[in-house]
Amino acid sequence: MRLPRRVPWSSLAELDNLCASIYADENDISSKIYAINRISAWKAVTPIPHALESTLALLVVVVQDSQRAPIPAIFFRQSYAAAIIRLVNGLVDPLQVSTYARSITSIAQQLGIPSWLVELRHAATHEDLPSLDLLREAARQAMAWLLQNYFFPLLNPVSNNPPILTPVRPLAPLLKLYKNTMKIVTRDLSLMTRHKPRLGTILRDIEKWIAETRVSADAAMGETRWQTNHWADGDETAEGNLGALEQLCKTLAEKGMLVPLAKKKRQLPRDGHHPTPASISHWETLLLHLQAAHPDFPYILCKTLTSILLDTISSGDTVNNQHDPSYYTYIACWVTWIVETWKNIPDLKVETLSILMKGLGYDSSAPSQKTAAFDLLKRLCNGLEEMEAVTLLLSTGSSKIPQTWGPLDLDMMKKRHEQLQSHLYTDEKNSTQPDELIAQPAKDVPISGWCILVENRSWKSCPVGIYNEN
């Protein structure tokens, strides 16, 4: 859930009036002066979106240029250039969220900014100032771009068509290239120096993929990341960033990535709780890098892997995985490795246990992935007294909950009751409660707490939450 955003206009009608003053008549200077005064008044009250900042800068230059005052042309060239540079930089720079910088051209292409405006910005910054005619045309196109990409989406949010974005390149080839490179390095450590630059390039490409996916996700949600001038504060919990990391984790969970493609390579070590040393050596560098660059990565990776164990999301090969228990077992081993490797991360283990317990519930059915999930739950609860009692309620048996109860079911429930009681306070002498507050067993109810209720024991069926004495 996103928090409400403060805007300077009181209603969309006020923003529509401003838009009409700017674009209704290109030769109406008085309307443009009104728009300049209105935006300046908003700016004095509250921070305004970068789009309005850029509109104001362009409008001021256009109005001054239209008055034909005896001012040297170099003044207008510098003013136009500064306004265009401010527009492009303000849109592109906040999207440099990756550990490694991306090119301005690639980000502008994703946003749909005309490439020649980016080239003009580069020339005005690092080369000779462009001609006045060229800068005037750039200002006209920049104003048209703001109309199509800022004012129209705000004024017509329902009828507005989604932005056309450049498709994000697939991630799987990058991860396979990384894995193949790590295989070469781990087989012969003397080759590390030779392949270190290549590994650095691959890690940068993965970070760029995350940044590109974040831009696409933000644009798909209607967020162009220019609503205010102070949005870019390094917030790693942005929805677009979390969505990019989720896609990354789902790709990592596919066969051939974290889980080896060949079943013979999934033979676990003696402890049976961790992936093979080969798998760890192949992927540890990437996982540690992602955790250092994105603090939320361990949480998202654990959530994705445990969701696959609970069969709540697709792992990309669901049909084949249903007949491949070793896949789920290996996924569970990776979850154990992640929790133990990053045990200092607050609440990582607790959140993983919470997802498992909520997903397993009281369902006693145990397909292949549920068996791995039960084993993982017991493994993570080992040593946690407050959690071990909960696992006693979960069964890995394959039988369904019976429709009718019998003596064998009562025996099982009594056994579980005794196990649960062993984790509670058994020394009644140390109890600080008065004797009259200690609950007494009901009439005709066994001390163990379990019995079959029938109508001759004054039991009647009724909706949950309703008690009828009669």
Q: Which residues contact 321 (CB under 8 A, 6 or more apart)?
A: 255, 315, 327, 328, 369
The answer to whether residues 306 and 359 touch, using CB atoms and an 8 Å cutoff, is yes
Residue position matching structure tokens 């609440």: 347
**224-268 pLDDT, tens per residue?**
444 444 333 344 445 567 888 888 999 999 999 999 988 888 888
Give 16-72 as a DSSP string. HHHHHHHHS-TT-HHHHHHHHHHHHHHHHHS---HHHHHHHHHHHHHHHHHTT-S--
The answer to whether residues 372 and 309 touch, using CB atoms and an 8 Å cutoff, is yes
Q: Which residues contact 279 (CB under 8 A, 6 or more apart)?
A: 258, 260, 265
What b/e sequence results for 306-318 when a residue is b if at least 16 CB atoms lie within 10 Å of its CB, and e otherwise? bbbbbbebebbee
Q: What share of the chain is helix, strand, coil (3-state, %, to 5)?
A: 60, 0, 40
CA 328 to chain CA mean position, Å: 23
For the chain, residues with pLDDT lower than 50 are 1, 160, 162, 223-237, 319, 364, 395-400, 425-430, 433-445, 447
CA 299 to chain CA mean position, Å: 10
Query: What's the confidence (pLDDT) of residue 127?
Result: 83
Residue position matching structure tokens 């949005």: 231
Rounded Cα–Cα distance for residues 292 and 290 (Å): 5
Query: What's the confidence (pLDDT) of residue 401?
Result: 52
The answer to whether residues 400 and 367 touch, using CB atoms and an 8 Å cutoff, is no
* Ramachandran assignment for 324, one of left (phi > 0), alpha (psi -120 to 50 degrees), beta (any other): beta
Contacts by 69-76 with C-beta closer than 8 Å and gap 24+? 73/132, 74/129, 76/132, 76/135
Contacts by 37-44 with C-beta closer than 8 Å and gap 24+? 42/8, 42/9, 43/8
Q: Which residues contact 58 (CB under 8 A, 6 or more apart)?
A: 83, 84, 87, 139, 142, 143
Rounded Cα–Cα distance for residues 204 and 415 (Å): 56
Query: What's the confidence (pLDDT) of residue 14?
Result: 87
**28-60 pLDDT, tens per residue?**
888 889 989 999 998 888 888 888 888 999 999
The answer to whether residues 102 and 211 touch, using CB atoms and an 8 Å cutoff, is yes
Query: What's the confidence (pLDDT) of residue 384?
Result: 67
Query: What's the confidence (pLDDT) of residue 235?
Result: 45
Give 353-399 as a DSSP string. HHHHHHHHTT-----HHHHHHHHHHHHHHTT-HHHHHHHTT----SP
Phi, psi of 122 (to 5 degrees): -65, -45
Q: Report the first-to-last Cα separation within the chain, whole angstroms.
A: 47
| Angle at CA of residue 29, ends 27 and 31, nearest 5° | 105
Rounded Cα–Cα distance for residues 15 and 304 (Å): 42
Q: Which residues contact 139 (CB under 8 A, 6 or more apart)?
A: 58, 61, 62, 80, 83, 84
The answer to whether residues 310 and 369 touch, using CB atoms and an 8 Å cutoff, is yes
